[in-house]
Amino acid sequence: MHLTSDELQITGSESECSYLPGQQSRMNYRLAMSLSPRRYEGLLERGWRRFGRTLFRPTCRRCSECRSIRIDLRNFQPTKSQRRLQRRMRQFDLSIVRPQLTQQHIDLYNLYHEDMHERRGWPFRETTPEDYYDSFVDGDFPFSREFQYRLDGELVAIGMVDVTDRLMSSIYFIYDPAIRKYSPGTLSALFEIETGRNSGQDFLHLGYFIRDCDSMNYKNRFAPHEFLEHYVGDKEPAVWLPAENGDTSPNGLQQA
């Protein structure tokens, strides 16, 4: 496995980290004009993430807090609180469709981000149809899916999820702040886990776990889960290590 003729790789410049104050971040990027499911599985297993046609992976020089995490779907065991939340899943209707772009999508995205700006201090800039398309629709890859959640017939949440024969990748999730009492973030993960288990997928990739970031440190609550030992090159095997006893301490993740 190596960089294909349909991919362009770029290393970004250092910038202020969005997740950890006082840290500098740097990303490797790949622009994929085409992407087969098998190729994508290999990239997921090596810690790459995807927005639209753009794949990315951290290559920070002084920090290794971003740790790729995935849930073992075949052996997933919900906690007591997750089992309670599973019973509330029946109130929602889930539709799995190809990625779409409507005014509802734009409105829901902006509503969610305005709420996160007010509650958590996220930077806020209204998205445009062009921005939304570039991030969540562009590419039309065969594994791209959109999970639409409805409550009493109303679209209240959207999850962007990639689904191959073996793997799933949770890309992004937005919701109407009016449903916050349902713990929508955890609820969406449980829906994705249930979907993957029913379809026979092996793992659900959740992106990066960051211990000291409230927006990213919930991901180890789904067990059992594994962490990627090192970011490796395309021709090197990826090694995933089971978390022991809920361990979330840094593992010295290194760049290849």
pLDDT of 245: 44
Total-model pTM = 0.89
Residue 256 covered by a domain = no
Q: Cα(40)–Cα(45) distance, rounded to whole angstroms? A: 9
3-state secondary structure 112-123: HHHHHHHHHCCC
Cβ atoms of 148 and 95 closer than 8 Å: yes
Flag whether pLDDT at 213 surpasses 60: yes
Flag whether pLDDT at 248 surpasses 60: no
Least confident range from 3-7, 135-139, 206-210: namely 3-7
CA distances from 66 to 28, 39, 253 (A): 14, 23, 8
CATH number at residue 87: 3.40.630.30
Residue 252 covered by a domain = no
33, β-bridge pairs: none
pLDDT of 124: 84
Q: Where are the alpha helices (DSSP H) in the chain?
A: 37-44, 80-88, 103-120, 129-132, 184-199
Which helix (H) or strand (E) covers residue 94, if one does? Answer: strand 92-97
pLDDT of 8: 79
Flag whether pLDDT at 177 surpasses 90: yes
Flag whether pLDDT at 253 surpasses 50: no
Computed over every residue of the chain, the mean pLDDT equals: 90
In the chain, the percentage of residues whose pLDDT exceeds 90 is: 73
Domain that holds residue 80: 7-242
What's the domain count of the chain? 1
Flag whether pLDDT at 25 surpasses 50: yes
Residue 249's pLDDT band, with cuts at 50, 70 and 90, is very low
pLDDT of 254: 40
Flag whether pLDDT at 5 surpasses 60: no
Residue in 110, 180, 122 with CA at minimum distance from that of residue 151: 180
pLDDT of 154: 97
Flag whether pLDDT at 94 surpasses 60: yes
